[in-house]
Amino acid sequence: MRVHTSSETMGRPAPAFLPRIGPDLSGDGQPIGISDMAELFGVTHRTLHFYEEKGLISAERLGMMRVYDHRMIRKMAVINACREIGMPLSAIQDLMQDLSEAASQLEADAIFCRVLDSRKRELTSDISSIHRQIQQIRTLVNEIDITPTVTAGVHVEPLTFCERDRRCLVLMTEGFKGADLARQLNMTDEELATLEESLIVRLGVSNRFQAAAKAIVLGLLPH
């Protein structure tokens, strides 16, 4: 990949031939101001200045106004199309360099088609990678058993929770425990211990912290 600096790109001649894409946006061929240019492509003034700094486009002066001629408008159309398909700036700079060396319109179109084909292969590869990652997530989720376990000799109550149960679980997630938790629930320590043990058994976990976490996973509590 070529490495570009602003000093290297500034002053680079505009391509004599540009890819023929989209409608002709140059209008009557008269230069347009920066506000019109920004509105035409749905970008900000800052974006246009940035492209100028990178040598991708250039503006002329018409009195006190910065204007862009029809060639810069066409060039901006190519740049904008490239950005919309996710091409990095360095790749766009490389494309413009290659286009500046094109000897004909046919060659310019062929260069652009090669770039598009390369980007299509990159996106296809990205899609395949995303699909693999999604499948891996599904596999991991399926491996996590969030159903209550039945231990020999232990009666597992059905997953029914009253308001007191839910409040206890919520307070657990907020860090309450022991005497503080009992006080919040207006219960004795013995009553709280019984309730916690019941929640642990019903949720099929090993301790109070796992009980609170599993309640969230099962959708019994808000995150």
What is the per-residue pLDDT for 50? 94
Token pair recorded at residue 91: 């790749």
Are 88 and 162 contained in the same domain?
A: no
What is the per-residue pLDDT for 7? 39
Q: Let me know if 125 is exposed, middle or buried by CB neighbors in 10 A (0-12, 13-18, 19+).
A: exposed
Tokens 């006080």, residue?
183
Which CATH number characterizes residue 173's domain?
1.10.10.10
Residues of the domain holding 19: 6-120
What is the per-residue pLDDT for 45? 93
More confident residue, 110 or 139: 110
Are 107 and 159 contained in the same domain?
A: no
Q: What is the pLDDT of residues 195-212, one digit of tens each?
A: 888 888 888 888 877 887
Q: Give the number of domains in the chain.
A: 2
Q: Let me know if 15 is exposed, middle or buried by CB neighbors in 10 A (0-12, 13-18, 19+).
A: buried
133 within a domain of the structure (yes/no): no
Are 146 and 115 contained in the same domain?
A: no
More confident residue, 123 or 156: 123
Q: Name the maximum alpha-carbon separation found in the chain.
A: 92
135 within a domain of the structure (yes/no): no
